[in-house]
Amino acid sequence: MGRTVDIGLVRYPGAQLSAVLGLSDLFGIAAGVAAKAPQELPKLRVTECSGDPDVKPARPDVGHDALILPPALGTPITPEAAQPIARWLRDAHGAGSVLASVCAGAFLLAETGLLDGRRATTHWLYAETFAARFPKVALDPDRLIIDEGDLLTAGGLMSWTDLGLKLVDRFLGPSVMLETSQVLLLDPPGREQRIYSTFAPRLNHGDAAILKVQHWMQAAGGKEAALPVLAACAGLEERTFLRRFQKATGLTSTDYAQRLRVNRARELLQFGQQPVDAIAWEVGYRDPAAFRKVFHRVVGLTPGEYRQRFHA
């Protein structure tokens, strides 16, 4: 008898049921691919479970190789609702289970305290809320998947496909993972979340002087970002302006302006026909090579690659 890998799909309150069913199907397909392999591979056993005795289906009395926290529809789980499940997850992790989350499932995983001091990701729309609620976690919302060995987090709502393939690769090997991705017409894991996210500036920080500058920069498309001009707009001394701007927005004024320019460049690449050099000039870069470098750093794709993938 070969080894059996037990994967638990956690049905916590608000969990997205379509992701639970989709993961069950993905692992079912992977199990079928593994069964046809010339060498003996582990068998997959997938169960739905809950760490909360009041939530059905109840937790089966088995040890799991991995427990997956699917996305949530609506607001992330509250600390009060999370606590009984978080205790169970900590116990399972202590007994050797790998814990993995998708999208807002990271909030439940973070409630265990196991992510403190560790890297993690969640959906970019939740990044600010997550960072405020769990300041000890090293959040990186640009990444679609962060694999910390015993803890895995996936970002976007549909990134359960990437996480599922990542676990297939871990437990059944790359050949089974690749064939499973081909059957499902999915890209193998390796995408980055930042290619899909747009810049959403933080505006609710309460610093009126900095908010005034943000509105002015937005109207100018980030083209005017000289420090003396920005500080004068805010009515602040330059060093004070730099400190308050970064505290309020989480970015330097230079980085903020670059992201405004890149946002506009995304639109032009997606919906227009202008050459990349012309777009660079239009969004405020005299040097097209510098524009390409900044665009790639922010988005994770070159302007040409972005247009090829997203052009309408």
Say if residue 196's pLDDT is above 80: no
> Is 100 part of a structural domain of the chain?
yes
pLDDT tens readout for residues 37-50 = 888 999 999 999 87
Beta strand 151-154 pairing with 145-147: antiparallel
For position 185, what pLDDT does the model report?
Answer: 85
pLDDT tens profile 266-282: 989 988 899 999 999 99
pLDDT at res. 53: 53
| CATH number of domain containing 230 | 1.10.10.60
Q: Report if residue 132 sits inside a domain.
A: yes
Q: Which residue spans within the chain are E strands per DSSP?
A: 4-10, 43-49, 66-69, 98-102, 119-120, 138-139, 145-147, 151-154
Q: Is 201 part of a structural domain of the chain?
A: no
Query: End-to-end CA distance of the chain, in Å?
Result: 53
Cis peptide preceding 57, ω within 30 of 0 = yes
Task: Find out whether 120 and 131 touch, Cβ atoms under 8 Å.
Answer: no
Is the pLDDT reported for residue 204 higher than 90?
no
Domain count, the chain: 2
Whether residues 121 and 239 share a domain: the answer is no
| Residues in a beta bridge with 46 | 7
- What pLDDT shows up at residue 54? 57
Confidence of residue 60 (pLDDT cuts 50, 70, 90): very low
- Amino acid of residue 67: L
Measured at the CA of 141, the angle between CA 161 and CA 25, to 5 degrees, comes to 10
| Residue 293 pLDDT greater than 90, yes or no | yes
113 and 10 housed in the same domain: yes
pLDDT at 221: 87
Distances (CA, A) of 94 to 45, 69, 112, 144: 21, 17, 11, 26
Same-domain status, 118 and 96:
yes
| The pLDDT of residue 174 | 85
Q: Which amino acid is at 161?
A: T
Same domain, 26 and 163: yes
Residue 56 confidence class, pLDDT cut points 50, 70, 90 = very low
Does residue 199 sit within a domain? Answer: no
Write the pLDDT tens digit of every residue in 231-254.
999 999 999 999 999 999 999 999
What value does the mean pLDDT take over residues 203-219? Answer: 88
Whole-number mean pLDDT of the chain?
89
Q: Do 215 and 190 belong together in one domain?
A: no
150 and 219 part of one domain: no
pTM of the model: 0.70
Structure tokens that stand for 137 in this block: 């976690």
C-alpha distances in angstroms, 185 versus 84, 107, 113, 158, 243? 38, 30, 36, 14, 48
* The predicted structure's pLDDT at residue 1: 53
Please check whether residues 122 and 89 belong to one and the same domain: yes
Say if residue 76's pLDDT is above 80.
yes
Q: Which residues form the domain of 146?
A: 4-194
Residue 59: what pLDDT? 47
pLDDT of residue 39: 87
Share of the chain above pLDDT 70, in %: 94
Token readout for 91 is 């116990």
Percent of the chain with pLDDT over 90: 67
Task: Give yes or no: residues 183 and 274 share one domain.
Answer: no
pLDDT at residue 168 tops 90:
yes
pLDDT tens digit sequence for 173-185: 888 998 999 999 8
pLDDT tens, 92-104? 998 889 999 999 9
Average pLDDT estimate for 17-46: 94
Spatial contact of 71 and 108, defined as CB atoms under 8 Å apart: no
Local confidence band at 200 (pLDDT 50, 70, 90 cut-offs): confident
**Residue 203 included in any domain:** no
Structure-model confidence comparison of residues 188 and 214, the more confident one: 214
Q: Is the same domain home to 269 and 237?
A: yes
Span 7-15, average pLDDT: 94
251-272: burial string, b at 16+ Cβ within 10 Å, e else: bebebbbbbbbbbbbbebbeee
